[in-house]
Every structure is written in structure tokens, then in C-alpha cells.
Amino acid sequence: MAITRYTTLQDYANKVTLVSFFYPRCPYCNLELPERQKMYDKYYFKDKGLSMVWINILPEEESLIKGWQLGKNLNVPVLVGASQDSLTKDYKLVSTPTSYLLGPSGEVIFLQTGYKPGDVTTLENRIAIALAGGTP
């Protein structure tokens, strides 16, 4: 399985995009991200218009990402975030996982923080509306 390396979020411009912030050792991320992978497979690989990227918030854990993805059979592209200060300031991160659903113009159309079972249903409904051209 190849891991795609993108350099910035600009690589995802002009599409509905789900951006999820995580780190490989985050227990809640490890529960949530396999569910996100299923959405990626459903909407991206079947050309339904969704882009997805995960951003590792702990640059010092970058060396874990390849093995982590292979071990969990995950192939969503991963970017490595800047400093903790930058991520907190720029994205107002207070917990992981945190996911932003962005519209084609880059506007935030839905925000989901933390993880609890069932979150995937709400998010998938918002994605379907956004892909249909509506406002979730």
C-alpha cells in the first residue's frame, strides 16, 4: 500500500474535503479513523467527490505513521502538522480527533471534535448533503 505524500492543504482545493487531526498513539483516533477509512473508500475511491486528509499533530511521531497505516490497513493521505502552538492557534484544536468538513471554497461547513460511537452517522449525513451541493 502506497502512502501518498502531499505537502499542503492546497492540494485539496476545490473539493469537499474532510480534514482530520490525529496522532498515531491517540486511543480515540484509533477508534475513529478506521471508520473514516470506510468513508474514504466509499466516497473517494468510487469517485463520488470527497477528498480526505489526516494531519498528524505530533511531528515527533512522524516515524510511526507508515507502520501505523500499514498495521491498520489505512491509506488516507497523511500530512504532518506544524508546531503544537501553530495547530492550536490556527485550527483551535483542543482534542483529538478533530475533523473539519470543508466545502469546495475551503469554508468550514461542519466541525466534529472528540469521538463517541455513532459520530460517523452524523458526519456521513453531512458529507452526503455537501456532495449533493447542499449546505449541511
In a domain, 69, yes or no: yes
Nearest CA-CA partner of 98 in 54, 60, 135: 54
In a domain, 2, yes or no: no
pLDDT at 68: 95
pLDDT at 5: 47
d(CA 68, CA 1): 12
Whichever domain contains 41, its CATH number is 3.40.30.10
In a domain, 5, yes or no: no
Residues spanned by the domain of 68: 13-131
pLDDT at 122: 93
pLDDT at 71: 94
pLDDT at 86: 67
In a domain, 39, yes or no: yes
Q: What angle do CA 40, 46, 50 make, to 5 degrees?
A: 45
pLDDT at 109: 93
pLDDT at 14: 80
In a domain, 121, yes or no: yes
**Collapsing DSSP states into helix, strand and coil, what is residue 26?**
coil
In a domain, 7, yes or no: no
- In the chain, the number of structural domains is 1
In a domain, 8, yes or no: no
Count the Cβ atoms, other than its own, within 10 Å of residue 38: 12
In a domain, 26, yes or no: yes
Low pLDDT (below 50) residues in the chain:
1-6
d(CA 34, CA 3): 16
Q: Name the DSSP class of 125.
A: H
